[in-house]
Structure formats: C-alpha cells, structure tokens
Amino acid sequence: MLIIILLLILGAVMAYISKFNAVLVNVNLGAYIFNDIPLFYVIIGSLLIGLILSYLVYLVDLLFTSWTLRGKENEIKKFKKEVLELTKRIHQLELENEKLKHNHHQEPQDDNAL
C-alpha cells in the first residue's frame, strides 16, 4: 500500500514538472544531437540516470564490504582453531604436571579431557 502511495506522489510530482517545463531543448551527447526534446524528459532522465548510478556505486561498496567481512570471518575461524589447539595442549601439560607431582606410573583419568 505504501508503494502505491509513493508511486502516486511520484506521478503527481512528474505531472507538475511536465506542466511547467514543456520547453523544447536540444540535447548534445557527444557526437549525437537530439533536437526538440521537452525539458521535463531531460529532468526525469537525469534523475533516473543519477539514481541508477548511485545504486551501482552502492552495489560495488556492498561487494567490497562483503569481501572484507568474509576475510575477517576466516581470520576468526583460524584464531578459534588456534585457541582450541592451545587449550588441548594446556590440558595435556596439566595432566603431565600432575603425573610428575605424584610420581605415579599410571596416568590420571579425566573424563572431561579434550
């Protein structure tokens, strides 16, 4: 419903622009010359081209942002793996330390060992 209301408002604005900007102008695009084009077509065309270009810039920025986030996620995974390996090593060293403290020939059993 909101989209319909916005389209009606946009249509009213375009009708208002066309009412007061009906002057015929010449448009030069490089080697091409377009004669007798109403000014409101030029205004609306410029608006649409600007919106399309800004959307393309937004998409490029979104692409680079997603690549950056993907790289950061990979780094986080790598560091989590490193933390897990270090935790396992610490636990092994704690078991070894207990073994050396008590001088038992039997290793202590730990059900929570990694």
DSSP for 50-63, written as a single string: HHHHHHHHHHHHHH
Contact assessment for residue 37 and residue 26, using Cβ atoms and an 8 Å cutoff: yes
For position 110, what pLDDT does the model report?
67
Closest CA to 91 of 111, 67, 68: 111
Find where tokens 């490029």 sit: 60
pLDDT tens, N- to C-terminus, the chain (114 residues): 899 999 999 889 888 888 888 899 999 988 999 999 999 889 889 989 999 999 999 999 999 999 999 999 999 999 999 999 999 999 999 988 888 888 755 555 666 666
Q: What is the pLDDT of residue 1?
A: 86
Backbone angles phi and psi of 24, in degrees to 5: -85, 130
pLDDT at 107: 57
CA angle (16, 18, 20) in 5-degree steps: 75
- Contact yes or no for 43/21 (Cβ under 8 A): yes
Residue 86's alpha-carbon distances to 39, 50, 81, 93, in angstroms, are: 70, 54, 9, 10
